Amino acid sequence: MTRRSQQMDLDQATLDEASFTVVDVETTGMNPLEDRITEIAMMKVQGGQLVEEFSTLVNPLMSIPAYITDLTGIDNIMVHDAPPAREVAPFIAEFLAGSVFAAHNASFDWGFVYNTVLRESGLTLGNPQLCTVRLSRRILPSLPSKSLGPVTRHLNIEIPQRHRASGDAFATALVLVKYLSYLKKTYAFKTVGEVLRFQSARASSFQPA
- What does the CA dihedral 23, 202, 195, 113 come to, rounded to 10 degrees? -20
Q: Kindly list the structural domains of the chain, giving each domain's residue range(s) and its CATH number in brackets, ordered by start.
A: 2-199 (3.30.420.10)
pLDDT at 196: 97
Confidence of residue 201 (pLDDT cuts 50, 70, 90): confident
Share of the chain above pLDDT 90, in %: 89
Give the model confidence (pLDDT) of 6-31 as tens digits: 457 898 999 999 999 999 999 999 99
Of the candidates 6, 26, 43, which has an alpha carbon nearest to the alpha carbon of residue 176? 43
Confidence of residue 5 (pLDDT cuts 50, 70, 90): very low
